[in-house]
Structures are given as C-alpha cells and as structure tokens.
Amino acid sequence: MFQHNRLDSNLTFIQKVKNLDYILLLSIILLSAISVFVMYSTDGGQILYHTKSHFIKLCIFFPLMLVISFFNIKFWHITSYLFYFIIVLLLAWASIDGIKVSGSQRWINLYFIVLQPSELMKISVILCLAKYYHRLKIDNVNSFTNIVIALTIIIIPIILVISQPDLGTSILIASSGLIILWLGGLKIKYFFISFITFLISLPFIISFLKPYQKLRILTFLDPDRDPLGAGYQIIQSKIAIGSGGLTGKGFLKGTQSYLEFLPEKHTDFIFTLFSEEFGFFGSIGLLILYIVIISRIIRIGAISRSNFARLFCFGFAFAIFIYIVVNLSMVLGLLPIVGSPLPIMSYGGSSMLATMIGFGIVLSAKINHKQTIS
Amino acid sequence: MIKENSGIRKEDVINRRMFIIGAAKIIIFTGIIVRLFSLQIDDNKKYLTLSDKNRIREWKLPPTRGNIIDYFGNVIAGNLKVYQLHIIPEQVENFSYLLTRLKVLLQLSDKKISNILKSKKRLKPWESIIVSENLSWSEFVKVNNYLYDLVGVKPVMTISRNYPFNDIYTHVLGYVSQPNENDILQNEIIQERFVTGMKVGKTGLEKTLENYLIGTNDIQRYEVNAYGKRINQLEYQKGEQGSKIRLTIDTEVQKLSAKLLADKAGSISVMDIYTGEIIAMCSSPSYDPNLFLFGISNDEWELIRNNPLKPLINKTLSGLYSPGSTIKPIVALSALENNIISTNFKVKCTGKTELYGQTFHCWKEKGHGVVSLNNAMKQSCDTYFYEIARLLGVDRLKITAKKFGLGEKVLGEYFENEKKGLFPDTNWKKNNLERGWVLGETLITGIGQGYTQTTPLQLCLMTAQIANGGYSIKPKIIVNNNPLNFVEAKKAMEEQNLINSNNRLFKEQRNIKIIQEAMFSSTNEIMGTSYRSRIDDPKYQFAGKTGTAQVKRISKRERELDLKIDQIPYNDRDHALYIAYGPYKNPRYALSIIVEHGGSGSKAAAPMAKKLFKLIIDRDELREKQPNFEEINI
C-alpha cells in the first residue's frame, strides 16, 4: 500500500494532464466564455473597462487554476492551516487598514491587486475544516473540545467579516463551514438544537442588525413599499427577468440593462441581464452548466481516496451551490438582497480568484485521486 | 485503508451525508426553476408591459388647429409656419458665451436673458429652452448663418395660428393664446391634450368651437434610460388636424363693412333672409388678433384697452342700443295685426303731443301735418307712432317684437358674450323696477326709446323676417354640410310654415306687405328719410328705415339751439341706425347698420347701405353658384 502510494504521488506531467477532468475543465472554459460575452453586454455592446478587466482576470486566474491543480493534493493538505491563518491576518488587515467603499471596509491594497480577503476566506474555511476533520477520528468528532475548535475556526472569520460589515459573505462563509461540520459527522441533533436556538434568538439578532439590513429584509418582504428607493433593485430585476420570456430579448438587446434601469448589473445582478437577454431557455442552460460543474466536483470527491480531498470537494461543491442559490434567489426576489456574486459570471477579482483556487484544488484532487493522506 | 475503531468508516459517513445534501440541492434547484418559469413564462406579459413602461416615454406635441374658412373657401384662420429658436443645454459648451452671442444677434433684452437662465435651472439638461417663439425670417437666416458658432442652438420650424385678414374678423373668430389655468380646468379636451406651447381659443368662435378646432396631438415615442434621457425615437404618430369650419360670411362684404366703419364705432350685419346665413358681421373698431399669438406687449394691450371706441366689445352681439325709429315697422305691424289701425288711419302731427301734462316731441318741430301709415313711416313721424303706440299698448307691442326676435339671443350658443337685449312690458317693469307702467313710457317705446335695448344683429334678424314675408328663420354663421340654395331654402321655409304655424310671424300676410311698402317709400320716394341713399336700378333697389337713437335726453334749451352735429360733444351725439333689405322686387338680403354717435340715421348710416347693397347683390350670383363644402379645395 505504501508503495502504491508513493508511486501515485510521483505522477509524470503527461499523466497529470491525462488525469485532468476534462468535462469540468470544458464547463469552466464555457462558463468563462459566457461571462466575457455577458460582461461585453453590460458595457453596452462595447469593449470597455469591465469587459477588458474581466477578460484579463480570466487570463490570469485560469492558468493559475491549472498551476494549482498540478500541485499534489498533499501539498494543499499541508498548507491548509497556513492558508487559513494568512487569510485571517488579511481580514484583520482589512478591518484595520482596509479600503472603505460606500460604508464598508472590505478591501486591502496589495499594490498589484486590490483584494477582498473575505472572498478567499470562503475557500480557506473549507480547506481548513477539511483538514481538521480529515485528521479527527470519527469517534472524537462529537466531543465538546472538538466542536468548540471547529466552531472557532468558523466564528473567527465571521466576526471579522460581519464587522466590515458584510452580512452576505459571512453567511456564505458560515454555511461553507457548517457543511463540513455536517459532512464530518457532527450529530444531527446538534444541528436541530442550534437551528431551534437560532429561530428563538432571531428577534434578538434582528434588533442587532444595521438599519440598512433591516430595510433590506423589509424590502424583500414587500418590494413595492418603496419602489423608487430600497425596493427599486428587486423590482427592476424582476421586470428584467420577467420581460425576457421564453427566448429572451436577444444578445445586447436587454433594454432594462442598456437603458440603465438595472443596478449592479456587472456584479450581483449579472444573472438578471443574462436572463433578460437569453430568456428562460438561456437561464436553464446556464443552470445546467452550473449543475454539471457541481456534479463533476461531487464525483471527484466521491472517487477521492483521501477524506481531505473528499471533504474539500463536497464542501466546495456545496459552497458553489450555495453561492448560486443565494444569488439567484436574490435576483429572483426569493431572498432579501445580500450582496453575493455569481461564481465566475460576476465581475470581481477576489471572488473569481477564490473560485479558481477552489477549482484548482478540485482538479488537483482529481489528478491525485488515488493519493492517500495519513 | 484506515479502519475506524467503532467500525464506522468515515468516508461512508461523508458519502451518506453528501447524498442527503444532494437531495436537498435538487429540491432547491427545482424551486429556482419554478420561480424562473413563473416570472418568465407565466408573468411574461406583465413584465414586458412593465419593461416597456420603463423604457418608452411619450412626448405630446401641440395639435394643429383646424382652419376656419369663409363661404368661398378663403382661409380666415389658418396655420402658419413659424421659426423658433431652442437651446438644448446639455449640448452647449459654453453657456455664457452662447448667450452673449445670441444677445447680440437677436437683440435680446436683459430680462429675456435672465428668463432663459431661469428656465435652464428649472429644466433637465436635455429639455430644450425656447429662446424665441417667433423669429422673423431674417433672424432665422442670421441664426442659421452663425450656427457653427452657436453649439447647442437648434432652429425649429413649427406651426402657429394665423389670421390673414388681421382685424376684420376679430369679433367673429376671437383669437387664440396660451391657455390659463381656467381654460385648462374648464375644458376636458384641453386638459387631455395640453402641452406647453399650445394655443387655445380665448374668445369668439375660436373659443366656442374649441373642441372641433383643437385637433389631436402629434405623439413622439422615445426610448428613455433610467434617468429619463431620450435615447432614440421609436415612433412619430401624426395627430389629426382639427375640423375645418366653414362660415357663412363673405369676406368681400365683411371687408367693405370694416372699411365703411373705419375710424367709427359701430356695427354692420348682413343676413340672407331665407337661409338665415350671416353674410357679414362687423364690429368697429377692431384689433389685430395676431398680436395675441405670442403674448401681446403691454403697450399694445393698453392701447386697445384704453381706446374710447371700445374695440374689445363685439358691438354686433353685445352692444345694446335703443332702436330708435327702426322699431317703427314693428310698432306699425303690431297695430295692424291687432286691428288697432288700418292703412286709412290718419294722425295730425303738430310737432308735439301732450299727455298728462308731459310734452312728447316729433323730430320735426313744425310737424308733419296729417299723416297716414305710409307717410308716417316714410317721414318717420314720431307723433303718429306715439298715437298708435298709445292705442296699442306696450304689452301687445311686446308680443309682436318678441316674435320678430327682439329680447332674445340671435346666435345663442355660438358667442358667449351675446346679449339678449330687452323689450319692456308692464310686467317686466313691475317685476324689475317695482313700479307701475306709465302710459308715457308706452309712447316713447313706440319710437324706440326708453327701456328698449336691442343688439344690431337682432335688428338685422327683425328686418330679414319682415323682408321674407314674415317667416321665422334661424340665423346661422356656420355652413352645414349640405347648404340649400336660396330657392330651396325659400321653399323649405314656406313649406315648413304650412306645417308649423309657429314659424309664421303674422296673422295677415297683407300686413307684412303694408310694412314692406312703407319701408320702400321711406327709401325710394321724395320726402323719405333715406331718399338720398336710394338706388333706382331695380336690380339693387332696396327698402329701409332710418333710426336716430338719443343717448341723452334733449333739454328744452338744446332743442331751441338746434345744434349742428359737430357742435355737440361726441359722447352726447345720437346713434345713427339703419335697417334695410333688398332687392325690393325679389328680396334676398337684410342688413342693419349702427354708427355710434354718428348723428342721424339718414346722414350717417343709410349711405353705407347703398354701397353695401351694390356689392352684396353683385356677389349674389357667385354665392348661389358656390359649391358645397366638400367640393371646395383649399
């Protein structure tokens, strides 16, 4: 067995290339291509700042993903805690000396890139917990100390992100973390208990919310209460999607978008524009593409020999799923507006970087799926 | 493989739990697809409408008013291309430079400049500011020549009301101007079609026929962005021009009327005695309605308002005058109809008559001697009419006067400023002045003085109804789609009178004939009051009755002085009146003339009738040949 192990860990370059998951790779390329075209549409059918910038980021991060995939999964296992630790430091930096944009302090200036560490934290919390549960014996999972340690891993970044303030990202970090706890074997009754506790304490949580966050929830419950103010985004988004119909208004013909009725069309509301121009069929197509990506990731997790890779893949697949669901539910008016980007499609370097790192590690797991980690 | 102590394999736990999540994922994704389906397919129509509501905005443009034409198809209220100058602020590079350039080019006042700056603040940067509503051609050319230097300036051609005959139709047509709050509130159609820059009728037919003339808006549909900026024009929907209205008036007769009354205050009305069509309706002095189109200047307005001859009053319909001797045909007719007198009835005129110690003078101091009805009409003997009025009584006189249209509106709904006038009777006095009727008042009513007040158009209608043999006609100023020629109209009128006796104004048609003959004598026989204005040619020969209405009681001293007209102050001079119809043998037209403070009817008013009848009868043939409305090609 050990022999076998060593053999696998020394794959040649050709073998590594052969071991790549091409369906996943093609889906990612397809998604990237779509995202460039949609970005081109948000620029009003011109190659302007957003299109260029988005394209350049893809050109950097896609190769980066491949580079990451060629590292042995063991390497990512070893560096998981370090990675997590660095991101926590970066989050702290953002809290102390971050760039303030419209009231929230989420970004740090690294001189070659303006980074949003909270986006990277979405990945690193999965990595960190995957390693933690990989090393933990199944019988010790439900011991008090271990639960506290696991929760601490989740809570530290959440406190930092909430204080930025950024409710949306912290919810996504929390759900990515909790899913590993779930997969790791935490007793179901703990989930039930904490869910009920959450429901009971909900009124108290709401009273701690910032006024704009309360407004968002109220607006979600009834967007028409202030159609030109807080409800504007969601109403315009629904109009855009609804008016797209079966086949959409056509590429570059989304009136809601190019007449600037749509807010945040480059970032959180990118799906709205896509759906307006390509209609129900287009939207289903995009959804299917995401489902293919998610199911490939799950499959890779399922064939991985190490629990670290398995936990990471499952966790990451779930995270992608959650991003999509939160984003779509938001633009479709099913959830309150909690700024959350659509993976790869939305404009934003940090989010794309995080997703690409995730894909890279998943591909690394695929290449090294026979690799065991002791 | 690492086997766990408890016998549970870790990867099994992970896989099993992953499976549960997988199931949850499918449910959630299904939920999202259902939501997409409901938005994009179920409610697609609703959201498409909302999306169009977002992006499409309509701009209404002022509607084009319908033309008003005269009987012969000449445009008397039309539409003219006007040149305007707009500034589109967002296209201007240097606003203050542009204003300085425009100020020099168009000699704009400082006030105008500050107005432009004010509207600039008020309007959105893509909304145009109107610098000038009506540029002259030379200004327009000048601006176009310097256009390269005037970035953001847009010369615009648009349409505006225009009255080609200037002041001669003012009292008939009225004028248009920018609507005020009342105009908008009182008329729903204006409310609905209102846009800035639109003009609506303020007086006259322009106002009463507003709903026909107004037309529908041109509509521009633009695609706009979220900030309301126009992106591109989607559609230009041409509005419909308002209805064309054809009047019964003959511009040539109208023109002559205006010319005859030039520099005088007064009124001329001419009417077809069978169809009731008004051939001319002129009130003098007048003013140019074109002045009101782009806002009248204060000086010009003051000039019109303060003119002592009162150009703002439509004297034909709103001017109330004592009819003077022009009432005599009605008094005589009433006496005949009531069998008070016969043609043989004679009165001796000594120049005055006494009643209960009060003296009533005849206009001729020496008296007319013994006069018959015909003679009394001819020479307009007041004593004769005092006598028959006394015998007749005012109440019976009123019945006849009312039948012939006195004390009632003539055109009714067409002119909101039309007055009813007044023909008194004993009841009226009791009800309104709370005093009993005095017989002396009957006497002066018999010569058209006292309480009686008539409008010139009433006198014209009265004359027309005497001239057509005593039949009621309905005066009109607008041509129906299918006008009758006079033979048809005459036939229709007589036939209708057989069916409906209400339209017959007489008991004995012989009596009408007697009055007609008396009016003929008055004009065409020696001693007749308008003998000097007669036309011997039977083609033009007309019959008439003069009138001189006192505006002030003549004192005994003044009577003795026997002042010449230019020795009396203007406002104390008598009004000169004349009513007539012609041609006598085969009557077609009736007219009434009033010259305010013109002195005597025979000197000031009757000579005008001579000139008018020449023209009217010359144009009669043309009028009969005039094709119907639809066939007129303008």
DSSP A41-67: HHTTSS--HHHHHHHHHHHHHHHHHHH
Q: DSSP secondary-structure letter at B220?
A: E
**Residue A373: inside a domain, yes or no?**
no
Q: Using CB atoms and an 8 Å cut-off, which of residues 36-55 of chain B contact chain A? A: 36-37, 39-41, 43-44, 46-48, 50-51, 54-55
**Binary contact (B14, A307; C-beta < 8 A):** yes
Which of chain A's residues have a Cβ under 8 Å away from the Cβ of B47? 238-243
pLDDT at B628: 61
pLDDT band of residue B424 (cuts 50, 70, 90) is very high
**Binary contact (B40, A138; C-beta < 8 A):** no
**Binary contact (B5, A284; C-beta < 8 A):** no
List the structure tokens of B533: 């204005």
pLDDT at B141: 85
**Residue A47: inside a domain, yes or no?**
yes
Q: How far is CA B548 from the centre of its chain?
A: 28
Pairing state between β B68-69 and B245-246 = parallel
Å from B128 to nearest chain A CA?
21
Å from B227 to nearest chain A CA?
8
Q: How far is CA B147 from the centre of its chain?
A: 42
List the structure tokens of A214: 């309360």
**DSSP, residue by residue, A264-316:** TTTTTTHHHHHHHHHHHHHHHHHHHHHHHHHHHHHHHHHH-SSHHHHHHHHHH
> Is B617 within 8 Å of B251 (Cβ atoms)?
no
Which of chain A's residues have a Cβ under 8 Å away from the Cβ of B44? 242-246
Cis peptide bond upstream of A157, omega within 30: no
**Paired strand residues for B162:** B78
List the structure tokens of B97: 């430079």
Q: Which bin fits B166, alpha (ψ -120 to 50), beta or left (φ > 0)? A: left
A243 CB near a chain B CB, below 8 Å?
yes
Work out the end-to-end distance of chain A between its first and last CA atoms, rounded to an integer number of angstroms: 12
Selected residue of B3, B26, B39, B230 to mutate for chain A interface (largest A Cβ count, 10 A): B39
**DSSP, residue by residue, B490-538:** HHHHHHHHHH-GGGB--S-HHHHHHHHHHHHHHHHSTT-TTGGG---ST
- d(CA B104, CA B100) in angstroms, rounded, equals 6
% of chain B residues with pLDDT over 70: 96
Closest-CA residue of chain A to B26: A291
> Is B386 within 8 Å of B360 (Cβ atoms)?
yes
A64 CB near a chain B CB, below 8 Å?
no
List the structure tokens of A98: 């971050």
pLDDT by residue (tens digit) across B230-247? Answer: 788 888 888 888 888 889
The helix (H) or strand (E) run that includes residue B307 is: none
- d(CA B218, CA B239) in angstroms, rounded, equals 4
- d(CA A303, CA A314) in angstroms, rounded, equals 11
A339 CB near a chain B CB, below 8 Å?
no
**Binary contact (B28, A184; C-beta < 8 A):** no
pLDDT digits (tens), chain A, 374 positions: 344 444 445 788 888 888 899 999 999 999 999 999 999 999 888 899 999 999 999 999 999 999 999 999 999 999 999 999 999 999 999 988 888 887 778 889 888 888 999 999 999 999 999 999 998 888 888 889 999 999 999 999 999 998 888 888 888 999 999 999 999 888 888 889 988 998 888 888 778 777 877 777 777 666 666 666 667 888 899 999 999 999 999 998 888 888 888 888 888 899 999 999 999 999 999 999 999 999 999 999 999 999 999 999 999 999 999 999 999 999 998 888 777 899 999 998 999 999 999 999 999 999 998 888 87
Residue with tokens 């609804």: A242
Residue with tokens 């150009």: B311
Closest-CA residue of chain B to A243: B48
- d(CA B241, CA B213) in angstroms, rounded, equals 8
pLDDT at A228: 66
Q: DSSP secondary-structure letter at B476?
A: B
- Domain extent for A61: 2-367
Q: Using CB atoms and an 8 Å cut-off, which of residues 15-54 of chain A contact chain B? A: none
pLDDT at B237: 87
Closest-CA residue of chain A to B6: A139
| DSSP three-state, residue B89 | helix
- The answer, yes or no, to whether residue B499 has pLDDT greater than 70, is no
**Binary contact (A179, B21; C-beta < 8 A):** yes
> Is A291 within 8 Å of A163 (Cβ atoms)?
no
Closest-CA residue of chain B to A372: B1
- The answer, yes or no, to whether residue B125 has pLDDT greater than 80, is no
**Binary contact (A334, B32; C-beta < 8 A):** yes
Domains along chain B with CATH numbers: 59-246 (3.90.1310.10), 251-294+314-624 (3.40.710.10)
pLDDT by residue (tens digit) across B149-207? Answer: 888 888 887 888 999 998 999 999 999 988 888 888 888 888 888 887 788 999 999 99
Cβ burial B595-609 (10 Å sphere, 16+ → b, else e) = bbbbbbbbbbbbbbb
Q: Using CB atoms and an 8 Å cut-off, which of residues 124-143 of chain A contact chain B? A: 137-139
**Binary contact (A239, B50; C-beta < 8 A):** yes
Number of independent structural domains in chain A: 1
Closest-CA residue of chain A to B9: A138
Torsion of CA B482, B486, B489, B494, to 10 degrees: 180
- d(CA A356, CA A62) in angstroms, rounded, equals 7
Least confident of A5-14, B171-180, B270-279, B537-546: A5-14
pLDDT at B618: 92
Which of chain A's residues have a Cβ under 8 Å away from the Cβ of B6? 138-139
List the structure tokens of A55: 């394209």
Which of chain A's residues have a Cβ under 8 Å away from the Cβ of B22? 298
Å from B126 to nearest chain A CA?
16
**Binary contact (B21, A184; C-beta < 8 A):** no
B21 CB near a chain A CB, below 8 Å?
yes
Which of chain B's residues have a Cβ under 8 Å away from the Cβ of A243? 44, 47-48, 50-51
Phi/psi at B369 (5° precision): 75, -155
Sign of the C-alpha dihedral computed for residues B394, B395, B397 and B401 taken in this order? positive
A181 CB near a chain B CB, below 8 Å?
no
pLDDT at B2: 44
Task: Give the residue, B363 or B490, on which the prediction is more confident.
Answer: B363
Closest-CA residue of chain B to A279: B40
The closest CB to that of A242, out of B8, B47, B223, belongs to B47
Longest dimension (CA), chain B: 156
Q: DSSP secondary-structure letter at B7?
A: S
pLDDT at A287: 96
List the structure tokens of B370: 């013994």
Å from B144 to nearest chain A CA?
34
Which of chain A's residues have a Cβ under 8 Å away from the Cβ of B12? none
Q: What is chain B's length?
A: 634
pLDDT at B122: 79
| DSSP three-state, residue B235 | strand
The closest CB to that of A329, out of B5, B32, B226, belongs to B32
Q: Pick from B153, B152, B172: which is nearest to B163 by CA?
A: B172
**Binary contact (B18, A261; C-beta < 8 A):** no
The closest CB to that of A243, out of B14, B33, B47, belongs to B47
Q: Pick from B239, B225, B232: which is nearest to B63 by CA?
A: B239
Q: Pick from B460, B454, B458: which is nearest to B320 by CA?
A: B454
List the structure tokens of B446: 């018999």
Q: Using CB atoms and an 8 Å cut-off, which of residues 161-180 of chain A contact chain B? A: 179
Residue with tokens 């057509």: B468
- d(CA A74, CA A83) in angstroms, rounded, equals 14
Q: Using CB atoms and an 8 Å cut-off, which of residues 213-242 of chain A contact chain B? A: 236, 238-242
List the structure tokens of B98: 């542009």
ipTM score for this prediction: 0.91
List the structure tokens of B95: 């606003």
Q: How far is CA A128 from CA A152, B21, B405, in A?
A: 12, 21, 108
pLDDT at A4: 46
Selected residue of B10, B13, B232 to mutate for chain A interface (largest A Cβ count, 10 A): B10
Q: What is chain A's length?
A: 374
Å from B221 to nearest chain A CA?
15
**Residue A372: inside a domain, yes or no?**
no
| DSSP three-state, residue B374 | helix
Residue type, B410: V
Q: Where are the beta strands (DSSP E) in A72-149?
A: 99-101, 104-109, 114-115
**Residue A144: inside a domain, yes or no?**
yes
Whole-number average pLDDT of chain B:
88
Selected residue of A241, A243, A299, A342 to mutate for chain B interface (largest B Cβ count, 10 A): A243
**DSSP, residue by residue, A168-221:** HHHHHHHHHHHHHHHHHT--HHHHHHHHHHHHHHHHHHHHHS-HHHHHHHHHHH
List the structure tokens of B612: 């008018």
Sign of the C-alpha dihedral computed for residues B99, B101, B104 and B107 taken in this order? negative
B422-428 CB contacts, 8 Å cutoff, 24+ apart: B422/B320, B422/B451, B422/B452, B422/B453, B423/B398, B423/B452, B423/B454, B424/B394, B424/B398, B424/B450, B424/B451, B424/B452, B425/B394, B425/B395, B425/B397, B425/B398, B426/B394, B426/B395, B427/B395
Which of chain B's residues have a Cβ under 8 Å away from the Cβ of A241? 36, 39-40, 47
Tell me the Cα Rg of chain B: 37
**Binary contact (B54, A138; C-beta < 8 A):** no
pLDDT at B498: 67
B232 CB near a chain A CB, below 8 Å?
no
Burial class (CB in 10 A: 0-12, 13-18, 19+), B221: middle
Residue with tokens 């192990």: A5
